[in-house]
Amino acid sequence: MSNTLNTIAVVVSYVSPTNTRGSRVKVEIPRMRIKKILSLDHQYNSPADQIEAWLFDIGVSPIAQAELPKAHAFVVNFIHWDALANCFGKA
């Protein structure tokens, strides 16, 4: 029997500006097969900081984080499934 905690990865990446749109942040939850694009909020030091604050605002506390080559991932407990699904309109 495994003692591994069931978790969900929230992957954050930067989306460069185009001629018609400013910088954005892409938030993906691969397990749920959903993504959301948000405007980059320049009050934060990085897209990861912005999404970490957003997660706390919706009541989701990351239990770990990891840097990926072109992204950042937050690991959250599976108990937050409904809160994440609601924010992405998948509930």
Per-residue model confidence as pLDDT tens for the chain (91 residues): 566 679 999 999 999 999 999 999 999 999 999 999 999 999 999 999 999 999 999 999 999 999 999 999 999 999 999 999 998 887 5
64 in a structural domain: yes
Q: Give the pTM.
A: 0.88
Q: For residues 59-73, b (16+ Cβ closer than 10 Å) or e, as one string?
A: ebebeeeeeeeeebb
Residue range of the domain that includes 20: 7-87
Residue 41 lies in a domain: yes
Query: Is residue 67 assigned to a domain?
Result: yes
Residue 1 located in a structural domain: no
**Per-residue confidence (pLDDT) for residue 18, from 0 to 100:** 93
Is residue 75 domain-resident? yes
Q: What's the total number of domains in the chain?
A: 1
